[in-house]
Amino acid sequence: MVPMKNILILGGTTEARQLAAKLVRREDFAVTLSLAGRTESPVAQGVPVRVGGFGGADGLAAYLHEEHIDLLIDATHPYAARISANAAEAAERTGVPILALRRPGWEPVADDRWTLVDSVAETASALGTSPRRVFLAIGRQEAGAFEAAPQHRYLIRSVDPVEPKLAVPDALYLLARGPFPEVDERALLKKYRIDAVVSKNSGGEATYGKIAAARALGIEVIVIRRPALPKVPSAETVDALAAKVDHLFDPVAERGV
C-alpha cells in the first residue's frame, strides 16, 4: 500500500481551492487547506479547513512537524508577502518540501493609463490634491490609508464590511465577491463617474474586468506593484502545480527508476 502523504495548502485564493479539489481526488493524499480567517464567510472549500494564523515561521514549523506534513504549498494571495516568507522559512527549518502557486501579474497594454506605485500609502499621494472620484478595489485591510486623502470621494468594494468606516466625508461601500465581468465593471465606473481606479496587480481573470473597463473608458488606474516573494519552486497554474506534486510523489521517481 502506498503511504498517505499529508499536504498542507496555505490558501485564501480561488486557485488554492481549485488545487485542493484536484489533489484530494488522489486516495494517497490527505489535504488540509489553511485560511488566515480574514474573510468572515469564506466559500466552501471541499476539503478539511484550518482557520487562523500559525504564529509566524516558528508556529508554522511546529505545525509541520507535529502534523507530519510531507509537502507545504503556498497558494496565498500575491500580496501576502509575510505569509509567504514565513512558509519558506518554516519549510527550510523543517526540511519539508515547499511549492508555490504564483499566478502571473497583469501587464499594461495599449491605451492603459497605469500609474505604478510601491505601496498603498504611495497610492493615496498619487491621487493628487484635487478632489477625485476614486474606486478602491483593494479589499478592506488597507483601506484606512486613504484617510490621509479625505478630499476625494470614495467607492470602496470589499467582500466583508470595512470596520470602522473611513474617517472621510464621502465614502460609499459595496459588498461583493468576484468574479467581476468587464461589462459590469464598465457600468459601475460609469454609474459613479469614477475618474481613478486603485488596484493591486492581483493577476488572474476574476478581477481583471475593472482594468479592462478602465482602459475602455480612458480612466487612470493606480496599480500597486507586487511585493518581493521568496524564491521557491513554483508554477503559474493549478494544473502545472498539480503536475509538480505528482512528480514529487511519483512512486517510480521516488525509487530512482
| Domains defined along the chain, listed by start | 5-103+228-255 (3.40.50.720), 114-224 (3.40.50.720)
- State the chain's mean pLDDT as an integer: 92
Q: For residues 197 and 189, what is the distance between their CA atoms, to the nearest angstrom?
A: 9
DSSP 46-90: SS-EEES--SHHHHHHHHHHHTT-SEEEE---TT-HHHHHHHHHH
For residues 146 and 119, the answer to whether their CB atoms sit within 8 Å is no
Q: Is the pTM of this model over 0.85?
A: yes
Each residue of 59-109: pLDDT tens digit?
999 999 999 999 999 999 999 999 999 999 999 999 999 999 999 999 999
Is the pLDDT at 39 greater than 80? The verdict is no
